[in-house]
Amino acid sequence: MRLQDKVAVVTGAASGMGKAIAELYASEGAKVIVADLNIEGAQEVVSGITEKGGVAKAVQVNVAKQEDIDNMIDTAVSEYGTLDILVNNAGIMDGFEPVADILDERWDLIFDINTKGVMRAMRKAIPIFLEKGKGNIINTASTGGLNGAHAGATYGASKHAVIGLTKNTGYMYAQKGIRCNAIAPGAVATNISASMKNINQFGMERTKPVQGVIPRVGNPEEIAQVALFLASDESSFVNGTVVTADGGWTAAF
């Protein structure tokens, strides 16, 4: 029970990596806010957790809206008394567009969800962490935040920004008892492809050689194990860094 009596918020937790993280955290003793735009899916995750004796609550959240983020964090505090762990996992993909084909509205939407939503949740949580003298932030980045050929320009830029935000935050608050790390998953079996619109054929073709050397596709539970390590005291000296979990994919580059 490595997270006994901890309170965690996990975004994008109705499916995929977020679901796996929420379930694993609950099994390790955490009280979990299962946050997602898909409230029915979030409620199903909560039902599964409670059936196994865990503690969780579903909250509908559009991470592109400040009021939803505020409500999400406030709910954790009102329901469970505090916040210990924030996992910013919600995100969407682009359509592999290179920069010449980016539409402003699509750029804005992806950054609102993938980057600004992460910043806003961190901004809301940090005063709580500062008051209690400790806290833990885990951001889902991507190997696309480290490399240039794993998605389109917008998604890659949004995840590069998350990594920069993670490193800056880890450094800035290192003496305040707050840790901030990111996970950079490689190819993982999730439903994020459902957010892809109007696939850009040129961009897709350019990424094919890189996609072709993926050793294997991971599963969400493997990423959840990394998130558990980062949330636990076992990683107490790990801060402001990115843990790449890609089966060895980017070791080739």
pLDDT at 192 over 80: no
The single residue of 25, 155, 171, 173 carrying the catalytic annotation is 155
pLDDT score of 77: 98
Q: What distances in angstroms separate CA 211 from CA 214, 218, 235, one per listed residue?
A: 6, 14, 31
25 is catalytic: no
DSSP string, 45-63: HHHHHHHTT-EEEEEE--T
Q: Is the Cβ–Cβ distance between 209 and 148 less than 8 Å?
A: no
What are the structural domain ranges in the chain?
7-252
Strands 178-185 and 85-88: unpaired
pLDDT in tens, 139-151: 999 999 999 999 9
**Pairwise CA distance, residues 219 & 17, whole Å:** 8
Given this structure, which CATH class describes domain 7-252?
Answer: alpha beta
pLDDT in tens, 76-111: 999 999 999 999 999 999 999 999 999 999 999 999
Rg for the chain, CA atoms, rounded? 17
Which one is predicted more confidently, 205 or 193? 205
Q: What are phi and psi of 38, to 5 degrees?
A: -85, 90
pLDDT score of 252: 83
Q: How much is the average pLDDT of 7-17?
A: 97
Question: ∠ CA(238), CA(239), CA(245), 5° rounding?
Answer: 65
pLDDT at 178 over 90: yes
Quote the pTM value. 0.96
pLDDT at 33 over 80: yes
